[in-house]
């Protein structure tokens, strides 16, 4: 038996008992004739004591232990003289009587501690060491606990967990597919699924009225903090439901997770916000509603007073930062530089302070009388000591997105985006289509199987861009944690959707003929939702990135630097797959 207890199990009630522990050496400390070793495993840390006066040979052996050595010890549990309130085992120590070195270790490239000295790239290269750190391990324990609660909740709601294929056919809509060549079918390719969408709809046609799957999905797209090339969805589908049914059930799941995982009880209904309102008030379809600072349009107030930038603008919008009038000129200049960054793209920023006496001082005072500035104050619902920040531009949608970035930055600077505070809502009534300027055609905002609002079906031909989708996204703290829609289950309407998306009948049949055929055999009304498990876990763990709640993530270039993947393959493998490489020319310096 390697151990009788784990390194997090022993308490003062165990004093006097003989135990055997096994784990990794966290650190050693020599104090006079005593050597202290912190022994660590997944469950915690226990202090070991070696006494030179009692057993010099054993103590000498302990002094040779290096960090991350794997050892086994036997000894008696003793009450500690200097107790450590930071450890669950801080009241006890083990007086060691036997030590076995199970394996030695090279010196780790970084410290295995919560606040490590290893940078991101180094930790990703040695991820198996990074996973030994308490905070990373606890993220994966949280992930496990959440998946267990999700399965429990859905099982109680009569859902069946059913696996769908990983090797499927490629589709051109949406993000890029990861492609897998087929050796047995030369020149042909599988794709890794971006979602099990089609298969779960087929399961609904098959009569499995409640399906779910905690499933790996793949998208070959540029990465950022909340994206990885492979990610995990909580994928669900139901038959004989309307939008309200799905929202109610999965809002219930969200509340269940908040209660069981974070001990946060949410009794009130999540508010619902139409997409057009979210874009108008926040410049985003995933607004962070932990704080106010809603947009106010200021065209009527600020145009026509001789300030050319505003007079020629197609949009002028402002936000009011409460109590921020104390911002210095240097801070305001930094904000201006922030919105002018290439990734945001604003040309500049105008600001106005509301003084304690109620007067307004702006950066464009020479163009505006105090009377107009008072109108601005009223429009912004500003009070003394508030700061008004204004952006403008030639395109309302673009300017709102820029103002959104400024709002979020102000939220960060003013400490309004508390990770321990949660604000949940549903964004509903998305547009069914979005116009693609490059291809000069409509694209599906979600996917081609999303149903239009029944009352908007008549607009499909006459005003295509105005048609709203029977779709919904759950947003928590400005993060889209999941979304879904009521699906099209009528063959004629699905064919119409393909037509509006530019599919020829032949192309639609080639790619989705099996689904259309299935619809001819009594497809029931159905809809569903997919939650992002990685996003849920990172939200509950208070992380800025989903990477630290995934055991073996990729870096920002989509590489696994630990196993050095992706990598080149041998020529005989390429030949077996009937493939040849056409490598791009190296860039000239």
Q: Which residue's structure tokens are 């990983």? A: 166
pLDDT tens, position by position, 85-106: 999 999 999 999 999 999 999 9
Q: Which residue's structure tokens are 């309130």? A: 85
> What is the pLDDT, as a whole number, of residue 174?
64
> What is the pLDDT, as a whole number, of residue 225?
65
pLDDT tens, position by position, 353-380: 999 999 999 999 999 999 999 999 999 9
Per-residue burial over 309-338, b if 16 or more Cβ lie within 10 Å, else e, is ebeebebbbbbbbbebbebeeeebeebbeb
- Strands 34-41 and 387-393, by their bridges, are unpaired
CATH code reported for the domain at 138-272+424-549: 3.30.930.10
Architecture of the domain defined by 12-103: Beta Barrel (2.40)
Positive or negative, the CA dihedral 529, 534, 537, 539 is negative
User: Residue 352 is inside which H or E element, if any?
Assistant: strand 350-354
**Cα(290)–Cα(249) distance, rounded to whole angstroms?**
24
> What is the pLDDT, as a whole number, of residue 583?
85
In this prediction, the residues of the chain whose per-residue pLDDT falls under 70 are 172-174, 225-226, 588-589
Instruction: Name the 3-class secondary structure at 256.
Output: helix
User: Which DSSP string corresponds to 31-53?
Assistant: ETTEEEEEEEETTEEEEEEEETT
Q: Which residue's structure tokens are 């996917």? A: 447
Phi, psi of 157 (to 5 degrees): -95, 15
Per-residue burial over 546-574, b if 16 or more Cβ lie within 10 Å, else e, is bbbbbeebbbeebebbbeeeeeeeeeeee
Instruction: Name the 3-class secondary structure at 94.
Output: strand
The Cα angle at residue 219 between residues 213 and 225, in degrees rounded to 5: 95
> What is the pLDDT, as a whole number, of residue 222?
78
> What is the pLDDT, as a whole number, of residue 468?
96
Domain boundaries, the chain: 12-103, 138-272+424-549, 291-413
Instruction: Name the 3-class secondary structure at 297.
Output: strand
With contact defined as beta carbons under 8 Å apart, do 544 and 225 qualify?
Answer: yes
**Cα(7)–Cα(16) distance, rounded to whole angstroms?**
17
Q: Which two tokens stand for residue 101?
A: 């070195």
**Cα(117)–Cα(69) distance, rounded to whole angstroms?**
19
Rg of the chain (C-alpha set): 30
> What is the pLDDT, as a whole number, of residue 366?
94
User: Residue 150 is inside which H or E element, if any?
Assistant: helix 134-156
Name, in order, each residue with C-beta under 8 angstroms of 173's C-beta and a sequence gap of 6 or more: 443, 444, 447, 448, 501
> What is the pLDDT, as a whole number, of residue 549?
94
Instruction: Name the 3-class secondary structure at 520.
Output: coil
- Nearest CA-CA partner of 431 in 488, 485, 478: 485
Q: Which residue's structure tokens are 């809809």? A: 527
- According to DSSP, the residues that pair with 44 across neighbouring strands are 41
What number of other Cβ atoms are within 10 A of residue 132's Cβ?
A: 18
Q: What is the DSSP letter of 65?
A: P
With contact defined as beta carbons under 8 Å apart, do 400 and 280 qualify?
Answer: yes
**Cα(212)–Cα(249) distance, rounded to whole angstroms?**
13
**Cα(578)–Cα(411) distance, rounded to whole angstroms?**
54
Q: Which residue's structure tokens are 């500690």? A: 80
- According to DSSP, the residues that pair with 473 across neighbouring strands are 427, 483
What number of other Cβ atoms are within 10 A of residue 149's Cβ?
A: 16
- Nearest CA-CA partner of 96 in 126, 62, 122, 65: 62
Phi, psi of 533 (to 5 degrees): -60, -45
Name, in order, each residue with C-beta under 8 angstroms of 108's C-beta and a sequence gap of 6 or more: 67, 68, 126, 129
- Nearest CA-CA partner of 475 in 217, 277, 318: 277
Does domain 291-413 fall into CATH 3.40.50.2300?
no
- Nearest CA-CA partner of 195 in 173, 219, 225, 220: 219
Q: Which two tokens stand for residue 468?
A: 């709203």
421: alpha, beta or left? (left if phi > 0; alpha if psi -120 to 50): beta
Length of the chain: 589
- According to DSSP, the residues that pair with 316 across neighbouring strands are 392
Up-side HSE of residue 14: CA atoms within 13 Å toward CB?
A: 23
Phi, psi of 34 (to 5 degrees): -115, 145
> What is the pLDDT, as a whole number, of residue 119?
87
Up-side HSE of residue 581: CA atoms within 13 Å toward CB?
A: 10
């Amino acid at each position: 038996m390697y151990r009788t207890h784990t390194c997090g199990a022993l308490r003062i009630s165990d004093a006097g008992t003989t135990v055997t522990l096994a784990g990794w050496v966290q650190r050693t400390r020599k104090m006079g004739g005593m050597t202290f070793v912190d022994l660590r495993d997944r469950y915690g840390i226990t202090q070991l004591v070696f006494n030179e006066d009692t057993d010099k040979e054993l103590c000498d052996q302990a002094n040779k232990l290096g960090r991350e050595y794997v050892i086994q010890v036997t000894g008696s549990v003793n009450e500690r003289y200097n107790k450590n309130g930071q450890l669950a085992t801080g009241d006890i120590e083990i007086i060691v009587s036997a030590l076995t070195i199970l394996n030695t270790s090279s010196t780790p490239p970084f410290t295995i501690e919560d606040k490590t000295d290893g940078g991101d790239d180094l930790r990703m290269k040695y991820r198996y060491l990074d996973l030994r750190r308490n905070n990373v391990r606890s993220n994966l324990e949280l992930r496990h606990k959440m998946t267990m609660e999700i399965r429990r909740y859905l099982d109680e709601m009569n859902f069946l967990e059913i696996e769908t294929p990983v090797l499927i056919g490629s589709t051109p809509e949406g993000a890029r597919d990861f492609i897998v060549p087929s050796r047995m079918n030369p020149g042909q390719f599988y794709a890794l699924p971006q979602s099990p969408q089609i298969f779960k709809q087929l399961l609904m046609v098959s009569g499995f009225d409640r399906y779910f799957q905690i499933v790996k999905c793949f998208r070959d797209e540029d990465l950022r903090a909340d994206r990885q090339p492979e990610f995990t969805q909580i994928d669900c589908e139901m038959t004989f439901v309307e939008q309200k049914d799905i929202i109610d059930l999965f809002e219930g799941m969200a509340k269940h997770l908040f209660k069981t995982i974070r001990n946060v009880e949410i009794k009130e209904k999540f508010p619902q916000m139409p997409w057009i309102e979210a874009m108008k008030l926040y410049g985003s379809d995933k607004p962070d509603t932990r704080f106010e600072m809603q947009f106010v349009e200021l065209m009527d107030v600020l145009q026509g007073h001789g300030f050319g930038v505003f007079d020629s603008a197609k949009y002028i919008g402002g936000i009011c930062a409460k109590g921020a009038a104390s911002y210095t000129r240097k801070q305001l200049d930094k904000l201006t530089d922030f919105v002018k960054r290439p990734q945001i793209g604003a040309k500049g920023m105008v600001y106005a302070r509301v003084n304690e006496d109620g007067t307004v001082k702006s950066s464009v005072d020479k163009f505006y009388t105090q009377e107009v500035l008072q109108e601005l104050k009223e429009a912004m619902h500003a009070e003394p000591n508030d700061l008004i920040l204004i952006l403008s531009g030639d395109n309302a949608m673009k300017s709102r997105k820029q103002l959104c970035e400024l709002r979020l930055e102000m939220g960060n600077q003013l400490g309004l985006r508390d990770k321990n505070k949660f604000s949940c809502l549903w964004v509903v009534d998305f547009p069914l289509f979005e116009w693609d300027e490059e291809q000069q055609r409509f694209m599906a905002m979600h996917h081609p199987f999303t149903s239009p609002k029944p009352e908007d079906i008549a607009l499909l031909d006459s005003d295509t861009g105005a048609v709203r989708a029977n779709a919904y996204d759950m947003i928590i703290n400005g993060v889209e944690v999941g979304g879904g829609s009521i699906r099209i289950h009528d063959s004629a309407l699905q064919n119409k959707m393909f037509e509006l998306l530019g599919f020829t009948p032949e192309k639609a049949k080639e790619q989705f003929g099996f689904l259309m055929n299935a619809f001819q055999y009594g497809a029931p009304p159905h809809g569903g939702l997919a939650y992002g498990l990685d996003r849920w876990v990172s939200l509950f763990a208070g992380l800025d990135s989903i990477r630290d709640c995934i055991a073996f993530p990729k870096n920002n270039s989509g590489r696994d630097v630990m196993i050095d993947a992706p990598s080149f393959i041998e020529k005989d493998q390429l030949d077996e797959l009937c493939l040849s490489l056409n490598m791009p020319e190296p860039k000239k310096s």
